[in-house]
Protein backbone atom coordinates (compact mmCIF):
# COMPACT_ATOMS: atom_id res chain seq x y z
CA UNK A 1 0.00 0.00 0.00
CA UNK A 2 2.90 2.34 0.70
CA UNK A 3 3.94 1.76 -2.90
CA UNK A 4 0.44 2.55 -4.10
CA UNK A 5 0.46 5.89 -2.24
CA UNK A 6 3.90 6.70 -3.59
CA UNK A 7 2.66 6.10 -7.13
CA UNK A 8 -0.12 8.68 -6.71
CA UNK A 9 1.70 11.77 -8.06
CA UNK A 10 1.71 10.26 -11.54
CA UNK A 11 -1.72 8.59 -11.26
CA UNK A 12 -4.60 9.83 -13.34
CA UNK A 13 -8.26 8.92 -13.55
CA UNK A 14 -8.84 5.47 -15.03
CA UNK A 15 -5.36 4.10 -14.33
CA UNK A 16 -5.13 2.86 -10.78
CA UNK A 17 -5.72 -0.76 -9.79
CA UNK A 18 -5.52 -1.77 -6.13
CA UNK A 19 -4.31 -5.31 -5.47
CA UNK A 20 -3.11 -5.06 -1.85
CA UNK A 21 -5.08 -6.68 0.95
CA UNK A 22 -7.56 -4.23 2.46
CA UNK A 23 -8.04 -5.80 5.91
CA UNK A 24 -5.75 -4.76 8.74
CA UNK A 25 -5.39 -6.17 12.23
CA UNK A 26 -2.61 -7.25 14.58
CA UNK A 27 -0.45 -4.48 13.07
CA UNK A 28 -0.46 -5.65 9.45
CA UNK A 29 -2.55 -6.11 6.35
CA UNK A 30 -4.37 -9.43 6.37
CA UNK A 31 -5.16 -11.63 3.41
CA UNK A 32 -8.88 -12.50 3.12
CA UNK A 33 -9.49 -15.89 4.73
CA UNK A 34 -11.21 -17.65 1.86
CA UNK A 35 -10.64 -15.30 -1.05
CA UNK A 36 -14.18 -16.00 -2.19
CA UNK A 37 -17.30 -13.80 -2.43
CA UNK A 38 -15.30 -10.95 -3.92
CA UNK A 39 -17.32 -7.77 -4.42
CA UNK A 40 -16.00 -5.37 -7.05
CA UNK A 41 -15.26 -1.80 -5.96
CA UNK A 42 -15.57 0.71 -8.78
CA UNK A 43 -13.93 4.00 -9.60
CA UNK A 44 -16.93 6.37 -9.80
CA UNK A 45 -15.21 8.65 -12.34
CA UNK A 46 -14.93 5.88 -14.94
CA UNK A 47 -17.13 3.03 -13.75
CA UNK A 48 -14.26 0.55 -14.15
CA UNK A 49 -13.21 -1.91 -11.44
CA UNK A 50 -10.70 -0.50 -8.96
CA UNK A 51 -10.30 -3.58 -6.76
CA UNK A 52 -12.04 -6.54 -5.18
CA UNK A 53 -13.37 -6.29 -1.66
CA UNK A 54 -13.66 -9.56 0.31
CA UNK A 55 -16.17 -9.27 3.16
CA UNK A 56 -14.90 -10.48 6.53
CA UNK A 57 -16.71 -13.37 8.17
CA UNK A 58 -17.09 -14.38 11.81
CA UNK A 59 -13.59 -15.77 12.28
CA UNK A 60 -11.96 -12.65 10.83
CA UNK A 61 -14.14 -10.30 12.86
CA UNK A 62 -13.21 -12.29 15.99
CA UNK A 63 -9.52 -11.98 15.18
CA UNK A 64 -9.77 -8.23 14.65
CA UNK A 65 -11.65 -7.73 17.91
CA UNK A 66 -9.19 -9.91 19.85
CA UNK A 67 -6.27 -7.99 18.44
CA UNK A 68 -8.00 -4.71 19.37
CA UNK A 69 -8.59 -5.95 22.90
CA UNK A 70 -4.92 -6.87 23.39
CA UNK A 71 -3.87 -3.42 22.19
CA UNK A 72 -6.46 -1.69 24.38
CA UNK A 73 -4.93 -3.33 27.47
CA UNK A 74 -1.58 -1.66 26.70
CA UNK A 75 -2.78 1.65 25.25
CA UNK A 76 -5.29 2.43 28.01
CA UNK A 77 -2.50 2.15 30.63
CA UNK A 78 -0.34 4.76 28.92
CA UNK A 79 -0.40 8.38 30.10
CA UNK A 80 -2.48 10.77 28.03
CA UNK A 81 0.67 12.64 27.08
CA UNK A 82 2.25 9.43 25.75
CA UNK A 83 -0.82 8.73 23.63
CA UNK A 84 -0.77 12.34 22.46
CA UNK A 85 2.79 12.02 21.19
CA UNK A 86 1.90 9.03 19.00
CA UNK A 87 -1.23 10.73 17.68
CA UNK A 88 0.70 13.88 16.81
CA UNK A 89 3.15 11.76 14.85
CA UNK A 90 0.24 10.14 12.97
CA UNK A 91 -1.13 13.64 12.23
CA UNK A 92 2.28 14.68 10.92
CA UNK A 93 2.46 11.69 8.58
CA UNK A 94 -1.04 12.34 7.21
CA UNK A 95 -0.10 15.99 6.62
CA UNK A 96 3.08 14.94 4.84
CA UNK A 97 1.17 12.48 2.56
CA UNK A 98 -1.90 14.67 2.22
CA UNK A 99 -1.82 15.07 -1.56
CA UNK A 100 -1.36 11.35 -2.21
CA UNK A 101 -4.07 10.27 0.22
CA UNK A 102 -6.41 12.88 -1.28
CA UNK A 103 -5.77 11.52 -4.76
CA UNK A 104 -6.54 7.96 -3.72
CA UNK A 105 -9.70 9.20 -1.97
CA UNK A 106 -10.82 10.84 -5.23
CA UNK A 107 -10.18 7.66 -7.19
CA UNK A 108 -12.31 5.69 -4.75
CA UNK A 109 -15.02 8.24 -3.96
CA UNK A 110 -15.37 10.40 -7.08
CA UNK A 111 -15.31 13.80 -5.33
CA UNK A 112 -13.17 16.64 -6.69
CA UNK A 113 -9.49 16.76 -5.74
CA UNK A 114 -9.85 20.24 -4.23
CA UNK A 115 -12.49 18.93 -1.82
CA UNK A 116 -10.55 15.76 -1.04
CA UNK A 117 -7.52 17.81 0.02
CA UNK A 118 -9.74 19.68 2.48
CA UNK A 119 -11.02 16.34 3.82
CA UNK A 120 -7.48 15.13 4.46
CA UNK A 121 -6.55 18.43 6.10
CA UNK A 122 -9.55 18.09 8.39
CA UNK A 123 -8.40 14.53 9.12
CA UNK A 124 -4.93 15.42 10.44
CA UNK A 125 -6.39 18.40 12.27
CA UNK A 126 -8.75 16.00 14.07
CA UNK A 127 -5.81 13.90 15.26
CA UNK A 128 -3.93 17.01 16.40
CA UNK A 129 -6.97 18.34 18.23
CA UNK A 130 -7.64 15.12 20.17
CA UNK A 131 -3.93 14.63 20.84
CA UNK A 132 -4.16 18.01 22.58
CA UNK A 133 -7.05 16.79 24.68
CA UNK A 134 -5.51 13.39 25.53
CA UNK A 135 -3.13 14.93 28.06
CA UNK A 136 -5.89 16.92 29.75
CA UNK A 137 -8.23 14.03 30.55
CA UNK A 138 -8.81 14.11 34.28
CA UNK A 139 -11.27 13.37 37.03
CA UNK A 140 -12.50 15.33 40.01
CA UNK A 141 -11.70 15.32 43.71
CA UNK A 142 -14.67 15.57 46.07
CA UNK A 143 -14.14 16.27 49.80
CA UNK A 144 -16.42 14.23 52.14
CA UNK A 145 -17.03 14.46 55.93
CA UNK A 146 -14.33 13.35 58.38
CA UNK A 147 -11.46 13.68 55.93
CA UNK A 148 -12.92 11.05 53.63
CA UNK A 149 -13.07 11.85 49.96
CA UNK A 150 -14.04 10.57 46.56
CA UNK A 151 -12.48 11.01 43.19
CA UNK A 152 -13.48 10.25 39.64
CA UNK A 153 -11.40 8.67 36.94
CA UNK A 154 -12.15 9.10 33.25
CA UNK A 155 -11.53 5.64 31.78
CA UNK A 156 -11.62 4.14 28.32
CA UNK A 157 -14.57 2.00 27.20
CA UNK A 158 -12.55 -0.81 25.60
CA UNK A 159 -12.94 -1.98 22.00
CA UNK A 160 -14.99 0.48 19.96
CA UNK A 161 -16.45 -0.48 16.60
CA UNK A 162 -16.95 2.16 13.94
CA UNK A 163 -18.99 1.73 10.81
CA UNK A 164 -18.56 4.36 8.13
CA UNK A 165 -20.44 5.81 5.16
CA UNK A 166 -18.88 6.33 1.73
CA UNK A 167 -19.06 10.11 1.35
CA UNK A 168 -16.09 11.07 3.55
CA UNK A 169 -14.24 7.73 3.91
CA UNK A 170 -10.87 8.82 5.34
CA UNK A 171 -12.27 11.76 7.29
CA UNK A 172 -14.96 9.63 8.96
CA UNK A 173 -12.26 7.14 10.04
CA UNK A 174 -10.35 10.04 11.64
CA UNK A 175 -13.41 11.72 13.19
CA UNK A 176 -14.14 8.42 14.93
CA UNK A 177 -10.69 7.08 15.76
CA UNK A 178 -9.07 10.29 17.05
CA UNK A 179 -11.32 10.85 20.10
CA UNK A 180 -11.52 7.09 20.70
CA UNK A 181 -7.75 6.65 20.77
CA UNK A 182 -7.22 9.83 22.78
CA UNK A 183 -9.39 8.30 25.53
CA UNK A 184 -7.42 5.03 25.55
CA UNK A 185 -9.75 2.84 23.46
CA UNK A 186 -8.90 0.52 20.58
CA UNK A 187 -10.95 0.52 17.38
CA UNK A 188 -12.19 -1.86 14.71
CA UNK A 189 -13.30 0.20 11.72
CA UNK A 190 -15.51 -1.03 8.90
CA UNK A 191 -15.58 1.24 5.88
CA UNK A 192 -18.42 1.25 3.40
CA UNK A 193 -17.99 -1.54 0.81
CA UNK A 194 -18.10 1.17 -1.88
CA UNK A 195 -15.03 2.94 -0.49
CA UNK A 196 -12.82 0.15 0.77
CA UNK A 197 -9.46 1.64 -0.10
CA UNK A 198 -8.35 4.47 2.20
CA UNK A 199 -9.16 3.36 5.80
CA UNK A 200 -6.33 0.82 5.62
CA UNK A 201 -3.94 3.70 4.81
CA UNK A 202 -4.91 5.27 8.12
CA UNK A 203 -4.26 1.93 9.88
CA UNK A 204 -0.76 1.84 8.38
CA UNK A 205 -0.10 5.42 9.41
CA UNK A 206 -1.14 4.76 13.01
CA UNK A 207 1.18 1.74 13.02
CA UNK A 208 4.06 3.80 11.64
CA UNK A 209 3.41 6.48 14.26
CA UNK A 210 3.88 3.90 17.02
CA UNK A 211 0.50 2.68 18.27
CA UNK A 212 0.53 -0.88 19.70
CA UNK A 213 -0.27 -3.54 17.11
CA UNK A 214 -4.03 -4.03 16.96
CA UNK A 215 -5.01 -0.57 18.19
CA UNK A 216 -6.69 0.49 14.94
CA UNK A 217 -7.98 -2.30 12.73
CA UNK A 218 -9.89 -2.42 9.47
CA UNK A 219 -12.36 -5.12 8.50
CA UNK A 220 -13.98 -5.00 5.10
CA UNK A 221 -17.56 -5.89 4.33
CA UNK A 222 -21.15 -4.74 4.16
CA UNK A 223 -24.26 -5.37 6.24
CA UNK A 224 -23.30 -8.92 7.26
CA UNK A 225 -19.89 -7.95 8.56
CA UNK A 226 -21.44 -4.91 10.25
CA UNK A 227 -23.95 -7.18 11.96
CA UNK A 228 -21.18 -9.45 13.26
CA UNK A 229 -19.44 -6.41 14.72
CA UNK A 230 -22.55 -4.99 16.39
CA UNK A 231 -23.51 -8.34 17.92
CA UNK A 232 -20.02 -9.16 19.18
CA UNK A 233 -19.84 -9.47 22.99
CA UNK A 234 -16.27 -8.13 23.07
CA UNK A 235 -17.32 -4.71 21.77
CA UNK A 236 -18.08 -1.87 24.21
CA UNK A 237 -19.33 0.76 21.79
CA UNK A 238 -20.56 1.22 18.24
CA UNK A 239 -20.16 4.54 16.48
CA UNK A 240 -22.11 4.58 13.24
CA UNK A 241 -22.33 6.98 10.32
CA UNK A 242 -24.96 6.16 7.74
CA UNK A 243 -28.65 6.17 6.95
CA UNK A 244 -31.53 6.31 9.42
CA UNK A 245 -32.86 2.79 8.60
CA UNK A 246 -29.43 1.21 9.19
CA UNK A 247 -28.96 3.34 12.32
CA UNK A 248 -32.13 1.87 13.78
CA UNK A 249 -30.81 -1.66 13.18
CA UNK A 250 -27.46 -0.77 14.77
CA UNK A 251 -29.23 0.50 17.86
CA UNK A 252 -31.37 -2.61 18.08
CA UNK A 253 -28.37 -4.97 17.78
CA UNK A 254 -26.30 -2.95 20.25
CA UNK A 255 -29.12 -2.98 22.78
CA UNK A 256 -28.80 -6.76 23.21
CA UNK A 257 -25.54 -6.36 25.13
CA UNK A 258 -26.14 -2.72 26.14
CA UNK A 259 -23.33 -1.32 24.01
CA UNK A 260 -22.98 2.44 23.94
CA UNK A 261 -24.00 3.91 20.60
CA UNK A 262 -23.29 7.08 18.64
CA UNK A 263 -25.49 7.56 15.58
CA UNK A 264 -24.58 10.09 12.88
CA UNK A 265 -27.47 9.70 10.47
CA UNK A 266 -29.13 11.39 7.53
CA UNK A 267 -30.81 14.74 7.16
CA UNK A 268 -33.08 16.98 5.11
CA UNK A 269 -31.94 20.27 6.48
CA UNK A 270 -33.60 23.65 5.98
CA UNK A 271 -31.73 26.73 4.78
CA UNK A 272 -33.71 29.94 5.40
CA UNK A 273 -32.87 33.04 3.38
CA UNK A 274 -34.47 36.29 4.56
CA UNK A 275 -34.95 39.28 2.27
CA UNK A 276 -32.51 41.37 4.36
CA UNK A 277 -29.64 38.94 3.67
CA UNK A 278 -26.43 39.81 1.87
CA UNK A 279 -27.59 38.18 -1.37
CA UNK A 280 -24.18 37.31 -2.79
CA UNK A 281 -23.32 35.39 0.38
CA UNK A 282 -26.73 33.73 0.51
CA UNK A 283 -26.35 32.45 -3.06
CA UNK A 284 -22.85 31.14 -2.35
CA UNK A 285 -24.16 29.62 0.88
CA UNK A 286 -26.95 27.82 -0.98
CA UNK A 287 -24.36 26.30 -3.35
CA UNK A 288 -22.18 25.25 -0.39
CA UNK A 289 -25.27 23.76 1.23
CA UNK A 290 -26.18 21.64 -1.78
CA UNK A 291 -23.35 20.81 -4.13
CA UNK A 292 -20.24 19.80 -2.15
CA UNK A 293 -19.29 16.16 -2.77
CA UNK A 294 -21.92 15.89 -5.53
CA UNK A 295 -24.60 16.71 -2.95
CA UNK A 296 -23.76 13.53 -1.03
CA UNK A 297 -23.43 15.33 2.31
CA UNK A 298 -25.50 14.40 5.35
CA UNK A 299 -25.96 17.96 6.66
CA UNK A 300 -26.81 19.57 3.31
CA UNK A 301 -29.41 22.34 3.38
CA UNK A 302 -31.53 20.92 0.58
CA UNK A 303 -34.79 22.61 1.57
CA UNK A 304 -34.06 26.19 0.63
CA UNK A 305 -36.72 28.60 1.92
CA UNK A 306 -36.44 32.04 0.30
CA UNK A 307 -38.47 35.06 1.40
CA UNK A 308 -40.91 35.77 -1.39
CA UNK A 309 -39.75 39.31 -2.23
CA UNK A 310 -36.25 38.19 -3.20
CA UNK A 311 -37.19 34.89 -4.84
CA UNK A 312 -36.80 36.05 -8.50
CA UNK A 313 -33.34 37.56 -8.00
CA UNK A 314 -32.20 34.65 -5.81
CA UNK A 315 -33.30 32.08 -8.40
CA UNK A 316 -31.67 33.96 -11.25
CA UNK A 317 -28.32 34.06 -9.45
CA UNK A 318 -28.42 30.54 -8.05
CA UNK A 319 -29.36 29.01 -11.42
CA UNK A 320 -26.69 31.02 -13.27
CA UNK A 321 -24.00 29.75 -10.90
CA UNK A 322 -25.28 26.19 -10.72
CA UNK A 323 -25.10 25.99 -14.52
CA UNK A 324 -21.49 27.19 -14.32
CA UNK A 325 -20.31 24.41 -11.98
CA UNK A 326 -17.72 22.38 -13.85
CA UNK A 327 -18.63 18.70 -13.72
CA UNK A 328 -16.12 16.09 -14.87
CA UNK A 329 -12.82 14.36 -14.17
CA UNK A 330 -12.48 14.76 -10.39
CA UNK A 331 -8.68 14.71 -10.50
CA UNK A 332 -8.50 17.87 -12.61
CA UNK A 333 -7.82 21.05 -10.63
CA UNK A 334 -10.66 23.00 -12.28
CA UNK A 335 -13.36 20.42 -11.65
CA UNK A 336 -15.80 21.41 -8.93
CA UNK A 337 -18.14 18.40 -9.11
CA UNK A 338 -17.05 14.83 -9.74
CA UNK A 339 -18.98 11.58 -10.01
CA UNK A 340 -21.65 10.12 -7.74
CA UNK A 341 -20.73 7.01 -5.82
CA UNK A 342 -22.37 4.24 -7.89
CA UNK A 343 -24.50 3.79 -11.00
CA UNK A 344 -27.37 2.62 -8.78
CA UNK A 345 -27.13 5.74 -6.60
CA UNK A 346 -27.01 8.00 -9.67
CA UNK A 347 -30.18 6.33 -11.00
CA UNK A 348 -31.84 6.81 -7.61
CA UNK A 349 -31.02 10.53 -7.56
CA UNK A 350 -32.22 10.97 -11.16
CA UNK A 351 -35.38 9.10 -10.13
CA UNK A 352 -36.01 11.72 -7.41
CA UNK A 353 -35.79 14.44 -10.09
CA UNK A 354 -38.28 12.63 -12.35
CA UNK A 355 -40.65 12.16 -9.45
CA UNK A 356 -40.31 15.83 -8.50
CA UNK A 357 -41.39 16.77 -12.05
CA UNK A 358 -44.36 14.40 -11.85
CA UNK A 359 -45.37 15.96 -8.54
CA UNK A 360 -45.29 19.48 -10.05
CA UNK A 361 -41.78 20.81 -9.42
CA UNK A 362 -40.11 22.80 -12.20
CA UNK A 363 -36.52 21.96 -13.14
CA UNK A 364 -34.70 25.28 -13.57
CA UNK A 365 -31.42 23.59 -14.46
CA UNK A 366 -29.64 20.25 -14.42
CA UNK A 367 -31.06 17.02 -13.09
CA UNK A 368 -29.83 14.98 -16.04
CA UNK A 369 -27.24 12.28 -16.47
CA UNK A 370 -24.06 13.90 -17.76
CA UNK A 371 -21.65 12.12 -20.08
CA UNK A 372 -18.27 13.85 -20.34
CA UNK A 373 -16.63 14.10 -23.77
CA UNK A 374 -13.44 12.33 -22.72
CA UNK A 375 -13.76 8.62 -23.66
CA UNK A 376 -12.36 7.25 -20.38
CA UNK A 377 -15.06 9.07 -18.38
CA UNK A 378 -18.02 7.78 -20.37
CA UNK A 379 -18.77 4.96 -17.91
CA UNK A 380 -18.65 7.36 -14.93
CA UNK A 381 -21.61 8.30 -12.74
CA UNK A 382 -22.08 12.00 -13.46
CA UNK A 383 -25.11 14.26 -13.40
CA UNK A 384 -25.70 17.97 -13.81
CA UNK A 385 -26.47 19.82 -10.55
CA UNK A 386 -30.14 20.60 -10.30
CA UNK A 387 -32.30 23.44 -8.98
CA UNK A 388 -36.01 22.71 -8.49
CA UNK A 389 -38.58 25.50 -8.31
CA UNK A 390 -42.35 25.33 -7.61
CA UNK A 391 -41.67 22.95 -4.76
CA UNK A 392 -44.12 22.44 -1.92
CA UNK A 393 -43.55 20.93 1.51
CA UNK A 394 -45.48 17.76 0.72
CA UNK A 395 -43.38 16.75 -2.32
CA UNK A 396 -41.08 13.73 -2.09
CA UNK A 397 -38.06 15.82 -3.12
CA UNK A 398 -38.70 18.11 -0.13
CA UNK A 399 -39.43 15.39 2.40
CA UNK A 400 -36.84 12.70 1.65
CA UNK A 401 -33.07 12.74 1.75
CA UNK A 402 -31.92 12.60 -1.90
CA UNK A 403 -28.16 12.58 -1.18
CA UNK A 404 -27.34 14.04 -4.57
CA UNK A 405 -26.94 17.49 -6.19
CA UNK A 406 -30.60 18.51 -6.05
CA UNK A 407 -31.73 21.78 -4.41
CA UNK A 408 -35.44 22.33 -3.74
CA UNK A 409 -36.45 25.99 -3.45
CA UNK A 410 -39.63 27.25 -1.79
CA UNK A 411 -40.99 30.71 -0.99
CA UNK A 412 -42.04 31.88 2.48
CA UNK A 413 -43.55 35.04 3.92
CA UNK A 414 -42.98 35.24 7.68
CA UNK A 415 -40.44 34.05 10.22
CA UNK A 416 -43.08 32.24 12.25
CA UNK A 417 -44.35 30.39 9.19
CA UNK A 418 -40.92 29.35 7.93
CA UNK A 419 -39.82 28.05 11.33
CA UNK A 420 -42.89 25.85 11.55
CA UNK A 421 -42.27 24.49 8.06
CA UNK A 422 -38.53 24.04 8.60
CA UNK A 423 -39.15 21.99 11.76
CA UNK A 424 -41.84 19.84 10.19
CA UNK A 425 -39.54 16.86 9.60
CA UNK A 426 -38.36 13.76 11.43
CA UNK A 427 -34.74 14.75 10.64
CA UNK A 428 -32.74 17.29 12.65
CA UNK A 429 -29.12 17.23 11.57
CA UNK A 430 -28.44 20.81 10.49
CA UNK A 431 -30.02 24.11 9.48
CA UNK A 432 -28.99 27.52 8.22
CA UNK A 433 -30.14 31.13 8.15
CA UNK A 434 -29.04 34.13 6.11
CA UNK A 435 -30.04 37.54 7.46
CA UNK A 436 -28.40 40.83 8.45
CA UNK A 437 -30.68 41.12 11.50
CA UNK A 438 -28.59 39.83 14.40
CA UNK A 439 -31.56 39.34 16.74
CA UNK A 440 -33.48 37.43 14.13
CA UNK A 441 -30.45 35.25 13.37
CA UNK A 442 -30.10 34.09 16.98
CA UNK A 443 -33.86 33.76 17.49
CA UNK A 444 -34.12 31.52 14.42
CA UNK A 445 -31.08 29.49 15.52
CA UNK A 446 -32.71 28.94 18.92
CA UNK A 447 -35.98 27.79 17.39
CA UNK A 448 -34.69 25.47 14.69
CA UNK A 449 -34.79 21.83 15.82
CA UNK A 450 -31.38 20.73 14.58
CA UNK A 451 -27.98 19.81 15.97
CA UNK A 452 -26.27 22.62 14.08
CA UNK A 453 -27.40 26.01 12.82
CA UNK A 454 -25.15 27.91 10.44
CA UNK A 455 -25.65 31.69 10.49
CA UNK A 456 -24.63 33.45 7.25
CA UNK A 457 -22.63 30.47 5.95
CA UNK A 458 -23.14 26.74 5.47
CA UNK A 459 -21.29 23.42 5.87
CA UNK A 460 -18.45 24.83 7.92
CA UNK A 461 -17.41 22.24 10.51
CA UNK A 462 -14.02 22.80 12.14
CA UNK A 463 -12.90 19.98 14.41
CA UNK A 464 -13.25 22.13 17.54
CA UNK A 465 -17.02 22.35 16.97
CA UNK A 466 -19.41 19.51 17.95
CA UNK A 467 -21.31 17.89 15.09
CA UNK A 468 -24.39 15.67 15.35
CA UNK A 469 -28.12 15.41 15.10
CA UNK A 470 -31.45 16.01 16.78
CA UNK A 471 -34.50 13.78 16.28
CA UNK A 472 -33.98 10.86 13.88
CA UNK A 473 -30.70 12.31 12.61
CA UNK A 474 -29.09 10.59 15.57
CA UNK A 475 -27.46 11.26 18.90
CA UNK A 476 -24.02 11.54 20.38
CA UNK A 477 -21.57 14.00 18.88
CA UNK A 478 -18.40 13.97 16.82
CA UNK A 479 -15.70 16.65 17.12
CA UNK A 480 -15.30 19.17 19.90
CA UNK A 481 -14.48 18.51 23.56
CA UNK A 482 -17.86 16.92 24.24
CA UNK A 483 -17.00 13.84 22.17
CA UNK A 484 -14.69 12.71 24.97
CA UNK A 485 -17.89 11.96 26.90
CA UNK A 486 -18.91 9.52 24.19
CA UNK A 487 -15.64 7.55 24.20
CA UNK A 488 -15.00 7.32 27.93
CA UNK A 489 -16.73 6.37 31.15
CA UNK A 490 -16.50 7.81 34.62
CA UNK A 491 -15.46 5.71 37.59
CA UNK A 492 -16.14 7.00 41.09
CA UNK A 493 -13.73 5.93 43.85
CA UNK A 494 -14.95 6.52 47.40
CA UNK A 495 -12.24 6.58 50.11
CA UNK A 496 -13.07 6.17 53.82
CA UNK A 497 -10.51 7.73 56.16
CA UNK A 498 -12.25 6.77 59.42
CA UNK A 499 -14.01 3.62 60.73
CA UNK A 500 -17.01 1.85 59.23
CA UNK A 501 -20.30 2.57 61.13
CA UNK A 502 -21.47 -0.19 63.48
CA UNK A 503 -24.95 0.17 62.01
CA UNK A 504 -26.10 -3.43 62.75
CA UNK A 505 -25.01 -3.34 66.40
CA UNK A 506 -23.32 -6.72 66.15
N1 LIG B 1 -24.60 12.43 10.24
C2 LIG B 1 -23.44 12.18 9.69
O3 LIG B 1 -22.38 12.53 10.19
C4 LIG B 1 -23.38 11.47 8.35
C5 LIG B 1 -22.21 11.53 7.59
C6 LIG B 1 -22.16 10.89 6.37
C7 LIG B 1 -23.27 10.19 5.90
N8 LIG B 1 -24.39 10.15 6.64
C9 LIG B 1 -25.60 9.45 6.13
O10 LIG B 1 -25.22 8.21 5.54
C11 LIG B 1 -26.13 7.86 4.51
C12 LIG B 1 -25.35 7.47 3.27
O13 LIG B 1 -24.41 6.52 3.57
P14 LIG B 1 -24.60 4.98 3.23
O15 LIG B 1 -25.41 4.83 1.99
O16 LIG B 1 -23.26 4.36 3.29
O17 LIG B 1 -25.49 4.48 4.48
P18 LIG B 1 -25.88 3.01 4.88
O19 LIG B 1 -26.71 3.12 6.10
O20 LIG B 1 -26.41 2.25 3.74
O21 LIG B 1 -24.47 2.31 5.23
C22 LIG B 1 -23.59 2.86 6.17
C23 LIG B 1 -22.67 1.77 6.69
O24 LIG B 1 -23.44 0.80 7.38
C25 LIG B 1 -23.12 -0.50 6.92
N26 LIG B 1 -24.31 -1.33 7.10
C27 LIG B 1 -25.36 -1.47 6.25
N28 LIG B 1 -26.28 -2.29 6.80
C29 LIG B 1 -25.81 -2.68 8.01
C30 LIG B 1 -26.30 -3.54 9.04
N31 LIG B 1 -27.47 -4.15 8.95
N32 LIG B 1 -25.56 -3.71 10.15
C33 LIG B 1 -24.36 -3.07 10.27
N34 LIG B 1 -23.84 -2.27 9.32
C35 LIG B 1 -24.55 -2.06 8.20
C36 LIG B 1 -22.70 -0.28 5.49
O37 LIG B 1 -21.92 -1.35 5.01
C38 LIG B 1 -21.91 1.01 5.61
O39 LIG B 1 -20.61 0.77 6.07
C40 LIG B 1 -26.97 9.09 4.29
O41 LIG B 1 -28.23 8.91 4.91
C42 LIG B 1 -26.20 10.19 4.98
O43 LIG B 1 -26.96 11.28 5.40
C44 LIG B 1 -24.48 10.76 7.86
C1 LIG C 1 -17.54 18.32 6.37
N2 LIG C 1 -18.96 18.47 6.10
C3 LIG C 1 -19.17 19.12 4.82
C4 LIG C 1 -19.57 19.30 7.14
C5 LIG C 1 -19.62 17.16 6.03
C6 LIG C 1 -19.61 16.33 7.27
C7 LIG C 1 -19.99 14.88 7.05
C8 LIG C 1 -21.34 14.67 6.47
O9 LIG C 1 -21.65 13.94 5.55
**Helix (H) or strand (E) run with residue 70 in it:** helix 58-75
Q: Is 243 in the pocket of ligand 1 (CB under 6 A)?
A: yes
The phi and psi torsions of 283 (rounded to 5 degrees) equal -65, -45
Q: What is the pLDDT of residue 16?
A: 97
Q: Can you tell me the distance from the alpha carbon of 3 to that of 5, in angstroms, rounded to the nearest whole number?
A: 5
Low-confidence ranges of the chain (pLDDT < 70): 1
* CA atoms within a 13 Å half-sphere pointing along the CA-CB vector of 254: 22
Nearest ligand by distance to the CA of 267: 1
> CB under 8 Å to 482, separation ≥6 — which residues?
466
Q: Which ligand is nearest to the CA of 263?
A: 1
Q: Residue 165's pLDDT is what?
A: 98
Cα-to-centroid distance, 277 and ligand 2 (Å): 24
Centre of ligand 2 to C-alpha 171, Å, is 9
Residue 334, pLDDT score: 98
Q: What b/e string do you get for 16-55 counting C-beta neighbours within 10 Å, with b at 16 or more? A: bebeebbbbbbbebbebeeeeeeeebbbbbbbbebbbbbb
Q: In what order do the strands lie in the sheet with 386-389?
A: 362-365, 386-389, 406-412, 303-307, 270-273, 430-434, 452-455
Whole-number Å distance between alpha carbons of 157 and 236: 6
Closest by CA to 79, choosing from 187, 160, 183, is 183
Cα 337 to ligand 2 centre (Å): 16
In this prediction, residue 1 carries a pLDDT of: 60
Cross-strand bridge partners of residue 154: 490
pLDDT of residue 504: 97
Cβ atoms of 205 and 101 within 8 Å: the answer is no
Q: With a 6 A CB cut-off, is 290 part of the ligand 2 pocket?
A: no
pLDDT at site 77: 98
Q: Which of 264, 296, 415, 478 is catalytic?
A: 264
Amino acid sequence: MAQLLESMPSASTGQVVVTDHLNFWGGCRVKPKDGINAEPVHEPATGRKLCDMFPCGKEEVDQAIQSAHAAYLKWSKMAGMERARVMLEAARIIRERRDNIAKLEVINNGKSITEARVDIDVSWQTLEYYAGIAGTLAGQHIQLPGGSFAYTRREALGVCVSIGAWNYPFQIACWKSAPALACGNAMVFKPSPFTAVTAVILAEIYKEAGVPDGLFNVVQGGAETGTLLCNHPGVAKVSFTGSVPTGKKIMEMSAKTVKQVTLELGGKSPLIIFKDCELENAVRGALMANFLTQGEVCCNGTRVYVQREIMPVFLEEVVKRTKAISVGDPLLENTRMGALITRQHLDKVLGFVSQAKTEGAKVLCGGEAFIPIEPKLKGGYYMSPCVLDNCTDDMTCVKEEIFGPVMSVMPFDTEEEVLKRANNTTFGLASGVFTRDISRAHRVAENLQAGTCFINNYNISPVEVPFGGYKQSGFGRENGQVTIEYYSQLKTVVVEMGDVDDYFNC
